[in-house]
Structure 1
Amino acid sequence: MSVLEILAAPMTQIGKIPDHVALILDGNRRYAKSRGLPALKGHQAGDAGTIMDTSFQVIGNWEGLLPVKLQHRMAHLMIKTRHFKPYRFNMAVAYTGRQGILQSLNAFPDSKDEIMDNLRPSEYLIAQAQHLVDMSPVDMLIRTGGNLRLSDFMMWETSQAYIHFVPETWPEFSFWKLVHAILLYQVYRGSAEKVNTPVEPNEHNFLDEIRNLRWTRIEHLARKDTYHDGGNLDFSSKCAQGLEKILHF
């Protein structure tokens, strides 16, 4: 960050900062095309910087559609950063909102046992059963690139979110555009109270059971990853490099 950006950042603390921000990173190819560059250069121009102290998780049908080696690498990074705090980075891969809701519904057992006795689909379970940890509702969704639609992205999670569309492509989305988005969020949604839905004990048990099964499967995939970091970098830096390699895969 520049000195000016560091000095300007406290402006956003005038009101409530969104806890959960979702991004639709649109416009990378158009950015490259407008400059006579290959499409890959547009994606590289839109890469995030170093991500530290952040757990990395993937949502979507990544196990069904991605190359096997990339699945192994993603699983490895998810396992290694599983307990990193305080931030969480969720990457949507081969994902649609409808598929996510269907995944939650398909997680419900056909037959009940003692743990699942009287378990029924609820708003909380439909929102959470597709994720490896509890995910809070989206506070603000930003879509770059000028398209005024959600494109089936996190429809359930964004039901109460402030949605911010910008004409600039993702590589052109600057610090100042983010500040502008946060200030508008504070105007339109910053005073909204979050509704805490009561959660039944058997709902927690159900989520623990299906998530443990998923983590076991991810650990199995991670053990097949042949990628190894070299040098003497600290572990957070290694994980950040691993994420960068995934983005460039």
Structure 2
Amino acid sequence: MPAPASAKERPDSTGASAVPRHVAIIMDGNGRWAKARGLPRVAGHREGAEAARKVLRAAGEAGVECLTLYAFSSENWRRPEAEINDLMGLLRFYIGAELNSLHREGVRLRIIGDHSAFQTDVARLVDDAVAKTAGNRRMTLAVALNYGARAEIVRAAQALAHRAAVGEIAPAQIDEAMIEGALDTRDLPPLDLLIRTSGEVRLSNFLLWQAAYAELIFVDTLWPDFDGDCLRAALVQFKARERRYGGL
């Protein structure tokens, strides 16, 4: 996996950037993919994990600095217990199978959301994987686990309110930069491109603050069928966009 493009290779922030620094994906359609083939939903999740592997590699080859994947939302707890257990099993398997490869390729794993709500052994595996890859600098893979954007913003507001209550800051000092500094994504690059698969056209409580000026691309492809070529096609669309950030 090649290193991300250097700052010299990137146009300035007033124009269309050749490569987005930060791409996020709502990985949707695993269940529909499995149903169309007469397979159990877990088969769709397995294929979805393979798609994530392909897309991570393609993102690294393209020079993307950070790839964020929406793996498990705070609303996913409403799903049947058997499906949740299958997802936890897949998470265990892929951490075990992929961790050494990620580390060898210089990928830093980051988690956004509250994965402490997961089964103890899964949470510990995640923590160990994050710790092992913490020093890697080639690329960041951020995985959203038990994540919801509204809850993230609430946590940030509570943290800043506490700082104000104890006199550490004045309420009037709270600005966008402070809020961003209290979000789960505080050490990630600004979000440039958000992709959703499966034909759905909504954000589903994902990176609501961060997506304020991100480019949005919605594709009909179900996530298990989304691969490196699909990502590259999305990056071509991104390159053609003119990003004015409210200016002329």
TM-score, normalized by length of structure 2?
0.66
1:40 positional shift? 1.0
Are the aligned partners of 1:101 and 1:127 in contact in 2 as well (CA < 8 Å)? no
1:194 positional shift? 11
2:189 and 2:175 mapped to 1: Cα distance?
15
Partner of 1:32: 34
Aligned residue identity for 2:123: Q
CA deviations 1:32-63 (Å, max 9, x no partner) are: 11111111111111113254311111111221
SS in structure 2 opposite 1:158?
helix
Partner of 2:43: 41
Are the aligned partners of 2:113 and 2:184 in contact in 1 as well (CA < 8 Å)? no
Aligned residue identity for 1:23: I
Partner of 2:221: 168
| Aligned residue among 133, 139, 148 for 1:96 | 148
Partner of 1:74: 126
Number of residue pairs matched by the alignment: 180
1:133 and 1:184 mapped to 2: Cα distance?
27
1:71 positional shift? 0.9
Partner of 1:143: 196
Partner of 1:230: none
SS in structure 1 opposite 2:143?
strand
1:122 and 1:136 mapped to 2: Cα distance?
19
Are the aligned partners of 1:140 and 1:163 in contact in 2 as well (CA < 8 Å)? yes
1:132 and 1:46 mapped to 2: Cα distance?
24
Are the aligned partners of 1:128 and 1:135 in contact in 2 as well (CA < 8 Å)? no
SS in structure 2 opposite 1:101?
helix
- 1:158/1:17 Cα in 2 relative to 1: closer, same or farther (>3 Å)? same
Greater mean deviation of Cα atoms: 15-24 or 116-125: 116-125
1:157 positional shift? 0.3
1:136 positional shift? 2.2
TM-score, normalized by length of structure 1?
0.66
1:79 positional shift? 1.1
1:77 positional shift? 0.8
1:85 positional shift? 0.8
Structure 1 residue ranges without an equivalent (≥5): 2-12, 196-249
Q: Which has the higher helix share?
A: 2
1:160 positional shift? 0.4
Greater mean deviation of Cα atoms: 37-46 or 123-132: 123-132
1:193 positional shift? 6.9
1:127 and 1:66 mapped to 2: Cα distance?
26
1:118 positional shift? 3.5
Whether 1:107 and 2:109 are equivalent positions in the alignment is no
Poorly superposed stretches of 4+, deviation over 6 Å: none
RMSD between aligned residues: 2.5
Aligned residue identity for 1:138: L
| Aligned residue among 175, 195, 199 for 1:122 | 175
SS in structure 1 opposite 2:200?
coil
1:132 positional shift? 6.8
CA deviations 1:72-98 (Å, max 9, x no partner) are: 111111111111112111111111111
1:46 and 1:147 mapped to 2: Cα distance?
17
Partner of 1:242: none
CA deviations 1:125-160 (Å, max 9, x no partner) are: 222312375222210001001101101110100110
Aligned residue identity for 1:137: P
Percent identity of paired positions between Structure 1 and Structure 2: 29
1:91 and 1:158 mapped to 2: Cα distance?
16
Structure 2 residue ranges without an equivalent (≥5): 2-10, 54-100
1:135 and 1:194 mapped to 2: Cα distance?
23
Are the aligned partners of 2:115 and 2:123 in contact in 1 as well (CA < 8 Å)? yes
